[in-house]
Amino acid sequence: MLDTSRGQAPPPADEPRGCLFALSQPPLMIFLAVIGCLLLMAAVHDLFLL
């Protein structure tokens, strides 16, 4: 068998995940899109219909 463990470090087990990882999740993006659409509709209603 060949020894391939020499010269390569094992990958870190606990890699921290930041804000970009959280924003890449589809449920969060759908939630933020719905909230943004509701705010946009409320702003358009206030500006043009009242």
Instruction: Please tell me the distance from the alpha carbon of residue 38 to that of residue 27, in angstroms, as a whole number.
Output: 17
Q: What is the pLDDT of residues 2-43, one digit of tens each?
A: 556 666 665 566 667 777 777 778 888 999 999 999 999 999
Dump strand ranges (E) for the chain.
Answer: none
- Count the neighbouring beta carbons within 10 Å of the beta carbon of residue 41: 10
Is residue 50's pLDDT more than 90? no
Is the Cβ–Cβ distance between 28 and 22 less than 8 Å? yes
Is the Cβ–Cβ distance between 24 and 30 less than 8 Å? no
